[in-house]
Amino acid sequence: MRIAIDYISSIGTGGVSLYTRELVRALSDIDKENKYFLYCFIHDFLPGREREKIKSENFKSRPAYFSRLNFPIPRGFINFTNKISIRTLAKLDKIDIFHFTNPLNFIRGPYKSIVTVHDLSVLHNSQWAKKISLDFFKKNIESVLNKANKILTDAEFTKKDIIDNFNIPEEKIKPIHLGVGNAFHSEIDKNYLKKKFNLENYILYVGELQPRKNIAGLLEAYKRLDNNLRKNYKLVLVGRARDENFAKKISDLIKKLNLGSFVKHFEYAAESDLIKLYSNAEFLLYPSFFEGFGFPVLESISCGVPVITSNTSSLPEVIGQAGILVNPEDINQIKSAIEKLLLDKNLYQKLKKECLNQASKFNWQKTARQTLAVYGEVYKN
């Protein structure tokens, strides 16, 4: 098979970028027979540009997509130009299957197409998405779902969500759980965290600060704890805010709740530091309203640390028995779960023992093998 992948989706720090990078790396490990073409931005091939290169000989990078960052012309013209570019290059490369890891990049062409739909969150609440994503999903997602030969989802929940919202045959959709990097394992080093971050006992949140993640609810629940608990366990937020407006909103809320001395916010942590932050936390607090998968939940349990997360969307599939599920709309329920994990040591140890067992069910090579099987199925049919 000759398989193209929209590798522009690998750029960035979000879940779609992580999925694209890790899937390609895992495919390069397990598949030495099929030919892969990673369709990149044209400007990535200019002198002086550095981009990640896959060393496997059956993986080739191609200059395919134009970007508005380098070509300041209207978005509509960029989209039209990219359609011509992708279809022409796909003919030249004799592509059999094109896997779009981000539905925003979907282009119908002279190939069979597979699209990964990570979630339909923007259709559930328009405030959870940037305008470009919202506009695309409202105008185009149904067309993409109908035109694709196969649809992949990160969880059973999203498959059901697609079926409930669109007239798509069940057999056209294949849920494939995602994986976690091998680097995520328990790494206890309290002295390092004390020296670098001035941290000792703390509750952790990891992820972008944005409305969908229920940051306000998280802060409200933490505020309702007994003052002594807050003194003994700081709240640590790791992640950038979606935009300046939301950053200010959260900053103002922290001041309003008088949590300035209890909450620490780090916009960024290197992976090595993030692993230590997970491993030494009391638990991960992740009461998100809606997730297509929930990487921080899986990363936390891979480090042996239990999670308080939501009973909505895909999150119950990921956490299994390694945490406490709460209604993200119920602040008192979140507060009670925090108290349970801080005060009930028997419950804490029970959940902690489940972490590695649950995490072992997810790995990128398993994701890649199942995805490769779908490539073969689509190719044969």
pLDDT in tens, 229-243: 999 999 999 999 988
SS (H, E, C) 311-362: CCCCHHHHHCCCEEEECCCCHHHHHHHHHHHHHCHHHHHHHHHHHHHHHCCC
User: What are the pLDDT digits (tens) for 56-111?
Assistant: 899 999 999 888 666 666 777 778 888 999 999 999 999 999 999 999 999 999 99
Same domain? 172 vs 207:
no
Read off the tokens for 186. Answer: 């328990």
Residue 137 lies in a domain: yes
What span, in angstroms and rounded, lies between the C-alpha atoms of 82 and 65? 6
Please choose, from the candidates 343, 258, 325, the residue with its C-alpha nearest in 3D space to the C-alpha of residue 285.
325
Those residues with Cβ within 8 angstroms of residue 364's Cβ, 6 or more apart along the chain or in another chain: 22, 23, 25, 26, 178, 179, 180, 181
Same domain? 152 vs 217:
no
Residue 351 lies in a domain: yes
What span, in angstroms and rounded, lies between the C-alpha atoms of 329 and 310? 9
Average pLDDT over residues 349-376: 97
Predicted confidence at residue 137, as pLDDT, reads 82
Same domain? 342 vs 372:
no
Say which CATH number the domain at 280 has. 3.40.50.2000
SS (H, E, C) 56-95: CCCEEEEEEECCCCCCCCCHHHHHHHHHHHHHHHHHHCCC
Same domain? 22 vs 46:
yes
Average pLDDT over residues 131-150: 87
Give the residue with greater pLDDT, 323 vs 44. 323
Into how many domains does the chain fold? 2
Find the Cα–Cα–Cα–Cα dihedral 201, 205, 209, 211, rounded to 10°.
-120
Give the residue with greater pLDDT, 298 vs 125. 298
How confident is residue 126, by pLDDT bands cut at 50, 70 and 90? confident
Same domain? 33 vs 63:
yes
What span, in angstroms and rounded, lies between the C-alpha atoms of 134 and 184? 33
What span, in angstroms and rounded, lies between the C-alpha atoms of 98 and 82? 15
Q: Which domain holds residue 67?
A: 2-179+363-380
Same domain? 157 vs 217:
no
Give the residue with greater pLDDT, 166 vs 50. 166
Please choose, from the candidates 234, 257, 237, the residue with its C-alpha nearest in 3D space to the C-alpha of residue 247.
237
What proportion of the chain, given as a percentage, has pLDDT over 70?
97
**Does the pLDDT at position 48 exceed 70?**
no
Q: Is 341 exposed, middle or buried (0-12, 13-18, 19+ CB in 10 A)?
A: buried
Q: Which of 124-138, 284-298, 304-318 has the lowest mean pLDDT?
A: 124-138
Residue 161 lies in a domain: yes
Spatial contact of 139 and 129, defined as CB atoms under 8 Å apart: no
Same domain? 375 vs 282:
no
Same domain? 38 vs 158:
yes
Q: Which of 44-53, 140-149, 170-179, 249-258 has the lowest mean pLDDT?
A: 44-53
User: What are the pLDDT digits (tens) for 292-322?
Assistant: 999 999 999 999 999 999 999 999 999 999 9
Same domain? 169 vs 257:
no
Spatial contact of 217 and 328, defined as CB atoms under 8 Å apart: yes
What span, in angstroms and rounded, lies between the C-alpha atoms of 305 and 327? 21
**Does the pLDDT at position 13 exceed 90?**
no
What span, in angstroms and rounded, lies between the C-alpha atoms of 378 and 374? 6
**Does the pLDDT at position 337 exceed 80?**
yes
Residue 247 lies in a domain: yes
Q: For the chain, give the mean pLDDT.
A: 93
Residue 184 lies in a domain: no
* Amino acid occupying residue 331: I
Those residues with Cβ within 8 angstroms of residue 165's Cβ, 6 or more apart along the chain or in another chain: 120, 123
> pTM of the full predicted structure?
0.92
Average pLDDT over residues 200-222: 96
Same domain? 302 vs 368:
no
Same domain? 253 vs 285:
yes
Residue 317 lies in a domain: yes
**Does the pLDDT at position 51 exceed 70?**
no
Residue 318 lies in a domain: yes
Same domain? 230 vs 314:
yes
- In angstroms, the Cα distances linking 251 to 232, 241, 260 are 22, 10, 9
3-class DSSP assignment, residue 184? coil
Average pLDDT over residues 340-365: 96
Residue 124 lies in a domain: yes
Those residues with Cβ within 8 angstroms of residue 257's Cβ, 6 or more apart along the chain or in another chain: 219, 220, 223
